Every structure is written in C-alpha cells, then in structure tokens.
Amino acid sequence: MDAPGSPSLGKAVPAVLIVLDGLGDRPNPQTGGMSPVEAARTPHLDGLVARGQMGQVVVVGPGVAPESDAGVFALLGYDPVRDSPGRGVLEALGVDVPLAPGDVALRLNFATLDGDGGVLDARVGRSLSTAESSELAQALTRADLLAPEGIRAEVRATVGHRGVLWMRPISGGPLSPNISNADPFYEKVGGMGQARRPETPKLLRVSPLDASPAAQRTADALNSFLERVGPVLAGHRVNARRAMSGKKIANGLLVRNAGALPATPIRTFHAVHGFAGASLTEMPVERGIARVLGLADRYVGPMVGDRDEGYRARARATRELLDSYPFVYVHLKGPDEPGHDGDARLKQEVVEAIDRSFFGPFLAGLDLDRVRVGITADHATPCILKGHSDDPVPLVLVGEGVTARMGGSGVKFGERAAAAGSLGTRSGSEVLGLLLGRGPVA
C-alpha cells in the first residue's frame, strides 16, 4: 500500500535529487554562533521547507564520516562498502583513464610534506593550479618510477591539487587494490573511504590488507613509488617558481582508496530502480559515479569565473535534464571547500549564492505539483573540524504528493529545523525511496 502523502507507485513522477557537497555544519563563532547554513539568507530554500517536509540524514552510518563517493552511493540506493569499486577507480573513470582488468587506480593529492613525511598541507594551500599539477603529473609519468618493479605508474592531474595514480602490471605478477592508504586523513573500508582526524598527520606506510602475493606486491611497489616522487617534485620548475613567489610547494603525494574494475560490473541505476536517470556533476569522482551507474552524464566541470553565473548555468542545465529524464542527480561542490578550510563566513556566502543563483532560477516556473525535489548532502564538513564528520545532514522533500508539515512560513532551512522535522532521522539508503514515494514520508 502506498504511504500517506506519497505519490502512487504507478505514477511516473519526475524527480531531482540535489546534493550539496559537505553542507552539514555546526555552530560557529564566525557566523554568530549559528551554523553557516543557518546564518545564510536562503529565502528559496526556506520556501521549499515551508511547502514540504524536512528531516535529517545519517548518510552512511553512525560513527562513519564518509567521503563524497560513499555518500553518493548511499543516497543513490547502493551499499558503498559492497558496491563501490573504490575512489581511485571512480576518479580515473571521471577523467577518461582507460583502465583495464588487473590495473589499480588510487586517488591522490599533491601535498606539502616536511623532511620526515609530516603533512604540512594536504592541499598545497589550495593554490596549486590544474596547469601546475598537470606539469608535475607529466614529470612523474615520464620518470617511470616503477619500471624496476615491472609496473607502469602514470599520474593524471584532475582539478587543482587532485589527481589519479594509475598502476598497470607489465611483468612480475598481478596487482591488487586490497591495500591500505598512505593518506593519513582517510581510512579504507571495503570500497569506501571514511575520514580520519590524526593529531600529527604523517604519510603512512602502505600495507597489504590480505595475505595474497598480489596485495604484498602492490603495497611494496606503492611505498617505493612514494619514496621516489620526492626528488622529481622537489627539483621541478613548478615548485621552483612557487618557492620564489612564497607559495607552498607540492613535494609529496597522499594516495588513498585503491580500486580496480570489478569482475562483475555494478548494476546500473536503471537495473536497480527501473528507470533511466541523468546527472549534472562538477568533479571527476561524481562523473565517474554517473558513468559506472549508467546515468546520462552532463559534466559541467568545477566552478570558475563568476560564481553566480555558474550557478545560474547549472540551474538551466538541471531544468533541461529534467525535461528529458524521469530522474536527475545534481551535485554541487560549493559548500565543501570552505568547510575544509575552516572558513565559516565563506561557507555562508556559498550557501547564499546557491540559494540565490541556483535555486532561484531552478524554481522559476517549475510546477511543484508535477515534480518531486529532494535536497540533502553527501556528508557534513563542519568548519570547526576542517574535515568530514558523521553529523546528520539536512533533508528537504517537496513537490507532488508531499504534504506540507513544517508549519508554514517562518521555518529556517538548516540543521536545527532538520533535526526537528517531520521526516525524523533517516539513513542515506532511505533517501531515494522517500523521494520517489516508495517509503513513508511522514
């Protein structure tokens, strides 16, 4: 039986799930003791709250501070531990790396390290340009650092300080993704990564996670690779120019979440849910998720130039997709970066820009009696922590068949309203069903 307040399961109700990366936060002195989200002026989001229902989501599970890929897998109805091929694979697919069976891929950050492997800055001050990281990546690839081990190691820059390490066995036996992370800020759990907050972050030695010779070979090779990158990076002209201009240098790599193409392909979104979908994404990892799940891919790339115009363009693209597909997944990176940087005022500004320039145009002329909209986050990134946490994140459902339960106007979109909302506390795996009317909405 259909749940009260839900559309009939027989109806083809168009739906859009909008994921605001790292949205969840905590009270912060920079924003008057409120969270950056609650401090933000968000008339469009507040209007959706008044018209719909609100709750909060524990995205993956209590005590788990998920990475974005794990959060998105959960929100799209998958098990991130069991189903994800790993962050490295998703990042690689997002930038067209031609992975083959037997290859291993890892996500990497260019980083600033001290002489003992201590992490001085995991993102090179967030000032490393994509052009600079591309030069460094090409130098590492040309160096062919694992040739003595019979492995071809290629580095692909993606966005800013981010990249992918692609390992291909040439001789000497197979490789395995079943290895630990060198990045001290993330722990690998199955196909999922979860955030850690080490007191004294230091590059970790990679270990095999099973007793296979392939895992041991891969761990040993990766440790050798990380030892050999230092001289290549330290002597590069990119870092010489950065040092002369007083910028942090990219003299090390943090690698994490090794993955490989699964022997059995992941079931597509259509196969799992019974209908086609599309995605609008800004970062390679979410593009990789869209590709591996068979979602039509509208990749707009990271935000550059005028922020408001960028969000307006994303709103237009979302409406175009919604005209053509029964389901659209939208991922907006904006709130996450200021969370990592501990900049609550900037996070407030980003949330306001999303409300003003994405939700304003997106909602203009949209008949909410004929569509369903869900708004949530893939994880929290509290500014006071400068990293991901397991905090619940807000969830708003509005549109066809959703009865207003927030008491009319005057309710502010934010964490406190979400905690008190009629939807209660839900798991990430419940969100898509709620949005589609396949579970209780009240």
Question: How many beta carbons lie within 10 A of that of residue 221, not counting itself?
Answer: 24
226-251 pLDDT, tens per residue?
Answer: 999 999 999 999 999 999 999 999 99
How far apart are alpha carbons 90 and 291 in whole angstroms? 9
Predicted TM-score (pTM) of this structure: 0.91
CA distance 411 to 76: 28
Residue 276 predicted with pLDDT over 70? yes
> What DSSP string describes 197-239?
--SS-BPPPP-BSSS-HHHHHHHHHHHHHHHHHHHHHHTSHHH
Q: How confident is the model at residue 5 (pLDDT cuts 50, 70, 90)?
A: very low
Q: How many angstroms separate the CA atoms of 75 and 57, rounded?
A: 10
Q: Given a cut of 80, is residue 162 above it in pLDDT?
A: yes
Domains detected in the chain: 15-85+263-436 (3.40.720.10), 89-259 (no CATH)
Structure confidence at residue 440 as a pLDDT band (50, 70, 90): very low
Q: What is the reported pLDDT for 407?
A: 61
pLDDT band at 409 (very low <50, low <70, confident <90, very high): low
Q: For position 332, what pLDDT does the model report?
A: 98
Work out the mean pLDDT of the chain and round it to a whole number: 93
Read off the pLDDT of residues 111-129 as tens digits, 9 standing for 90 and up: 999 999 999 999 999 999 9
Q: Is 237 exposed, middle or buried (0-12, 13-18, 19+ CB in 10 A)?
A: exposed
pLDDT of residue 56: 97
**What strands, in cross-sheet order, belong to the sheet with 327-332?**
296-299, 278-281, 327-332, 15-20, 372-376, 393-399, 53-58, 424-427
Beta bridge partners of 157: 163
**Which residues face 279 on adjacent strands?**
297, 329
